[in-house]
Amino acid sequence: MQTLSYADGVITMIDQTALPQQEIWLEIDNVADLVGAIKRLSVRGAPAIGVAGAYGIAMAALLHDPSTDSEAFEAAVHDIREARPTAVNLAHTVDRVAPIARTDPAAALAEAHAIRDEELHASIAMGELGADLVLELAQKAQVRTMTICNTGGLATVARGTALAVIQTLHERGVLTEAIPLETRPLLQGGRLTTWELERMGAPFRLIVDSAGPFLLARGAADVVLIGADRIAANGDTANKIGSFSLALAAKHAGVPFIVVAPESTIDMKTDDGDAIEIEDRGPHEVASVRDTPIAPVGTNAINPAFDVTPASLITAIVTDKRIVRVADGETL
Ligand code: MRU
């Protein structure tokens, strides 16, 4: 299923906020609606918002010719780039497509399609490299995987990052069980990863986030696989809130902790995790579950959407081009 596409000035995307109960398709033909969809997480996951951003720039160039209407075009570039701060893919793709759009608006769309195709090929490569590494590290013929958030085709354009590895293991017939964490507050694991695992026919059991560390200590999984929103030059990795707890627990349990992300998620301009801006999404998502209040009206909350796992807790980083064995002293 192609969950994100562009044709004739319209970006079509599945609304991830409605899954799995409803399959609603959004047709977006203006920049404000695209920025709203990214902020609301109708489209989410670092590579997917990168592709959506690239299409957004192509759409903006169509609506506002950069040579005659540069003020409106530059405002669109700014709004799309700033829609979410942590996933570096969005800034990377906007910075790649916008200069092309400024000189040749028609060429911007070809570049956006190229970015989509690159992410598609990257997912296939990460799946293969990651599956090989998992089997090597686990030293077993059959493996059980734990993962957080949604890192599948919904979060990229097909197959995914960490979930692509799990899909490849399943296709090779060596996946005993996948264990996704539900991923509060927005339940990307409980709603989206389960939806994708079911569609691929993989065996899985869902757990609440706080069960992850305990189950690792009890030997329930052979490997932890996560995606990334930004990997700093020293290997520190920003990913969905809860990743850091899993990394600490994996270290405690002696379980390999593997980050799977395309090269486009590496940010060599950011030295380390302390310099990564972490999006706080405000109290509403914590004080409610899918808009149903669970706390007294007016409850304040801290809501970091991501955390940073230090490189010292990461066994390896798998990209579409290489395996960086961080625990063996290899660097990006
Ligand atoms: O807030 P989200 O749902 O956009 O967060 C997504 C994640 O944290 C993913 O793990 C990350 O973007 C990698 S997706 C291939």
Q: State the DSSP H helix or E strand holding residue 165, giving kind and residue range, or none if neither.
A: helix 162-171
Q: Is 240 in the pocket of ligand 1 (CB under 6 A)?
A: yes
Q: Residue 201, CB half-sphere, CA atoms under 13 Å: how many?
A: 4
- Atom index in ligand 1 nearest the CA of residue 84 equals 4
Q: Can you give the C-alpha Rg of the chain in angstroms?
A: 19
Q: 62: burial class by Cβ within 10 Å (0-12, 13-18, 19+)? A: middle
> What is the residue type of 163?
L
User: How far apart, in whole angstroms, are the C-alpha atoms of residue 134 and residue 130?
Assistant: 6
pLDDT for position 106: 86
Side-by-side strand order, sheet with 4-7 = 4-7, 10-14, 25-28
Q: Is 259 in the pocket of ligand 1 (CB under 6 A)?
A: no
Cα(219) to centroid(ligand 1), Å: 26
pLDDT per position in the chain (332 positions), as tens?
A: 889 999 999 999 999 999 999 999 999 999 999 999 999 999 999 999 999 999 999 999 999 999 999 999 999 999 999 999 999 999 999 999 999 999 998 899 999 999 999 999 999 999 999 999 999 999 999 999 999 999 999 999 899 999 999 999 999 999 999 999 999 999 999 999 999 999 999 999 999 999 999 999 999 999 999 999 999 999 999 999 999 999 999 999 999 999 999 999 999 999 999 999 999 999 999 999 999 999 999 999 999 999 999 999 999 999 999 999 999 999 99
pLDDT for position 114: 97
Q: Which of 310, 329, 320 is nearest to 244 (CA)?
A: 310
> What is the residue type of 319?
T
Residue nearest (by alpha carbon) to ligand 1 atom 8: 240
Q: Say if residues 189 and 182 touch (Cβ distance below 8 Å).
A: yes
Identical fold at 4-118 and 124-328? no
The DSSP string of 197-257 is: HHHHT--B--B-TTHHHHHHHTT--SEEEE--SEEETTS-EEEETTHHHHHHHHHHHT--E
Q: What is the pTM of this model?
A: 0.97
Cα(50) to centroid(ligand 1), Å: 11
Q: In testing the pocket of ligand 1, which one of 15, 167, 192, 239 has its CB within 8 Å of the most ligand atoms? A: 239
Q: Where are the domains of the chain?
A: 4-118, 124-328
Q: Say if residues 265 and 89 touch (Cβ distance below 8 Å).
A: yes
- Find how far residue 8's CA is from the centre of its chain: 27
Please give the CATH topology (third level) of the domain spanning 4-118: Four Helix Bundle (Hemerythrin (Met), subunit A) (1.20.120)
Q: Is 161 in the pocket of ligand 1 (CB under 6 A)?
A: yes
Cα(70) to centroid(ligand 1), Å: 32
Between helix 88-103 and helix 70-81 the angle, nearest 10°, is 160
User: How far apart, in whole angstroms, are the C-alpha atoms of residue 235 and residue 317?
Assistant: 8
pLDDT for position 1: 80
Residue nearest (by alpha carbon) to ligand 1 atom 10: 227
Q: 22: burial class by Cβ within 10 Å (0-12, 13-18, 19+)? A: exposed
pLDDT for position 78: 98
Q: Is 35 in the pocket of ligand 1 (CB under 6 A)?
A: no
Q: Say if residues 5 and 43 touch (Cβ distance below 8 Å).
A: no
- Atom index in ligand 1 nearest the CA of residue 186 equals 3
Cα(73) to centroid(ligand 1), Å: 28
Q: Is 160 in the pocket of ligand 1 (CB under 6 A)?
A: yes
Q: Is 264 in the pocket of ligand 1 (CB under 6 A)?
A: no
Please give the CATH topology (third level) of the domain spanning 124-328: Rossmann fold (3.40.50)
Q: Is 87 in the pocket of ligand 1 (CB under 6 A)?
A: yes
Cα(240) to centroid(ligand 1), Å: 6
Residue numbers annotated as active site: 229
pLDDT for position 312: 98
User: How far apart, in whole angstroms, are the C-alpha atoms of residue 45 and residue 69?
Assistant: 31
Strand, coil or helix: 266: strand
- The full 3-state SS of 71-132, as one line of letters, equals HHHHHHHHHHHCCCCCCHHHHHHHHHHHHHHHHCHHHHHHHHHHHHHHHHHHHHHHHHHHHH
pLDDT for position 105: 87
Task: List, in sequence order, every residue forming a beta bridge with 173; answer none if it has no partner.
Answer: none
Q: Is 45 in the pocket of ligand 1 (CB under 6 A)?
A: yes
Task: List, in sequence order, every residue forming a beta bridge with 144; answer none if it has no partner.
Answer: 177
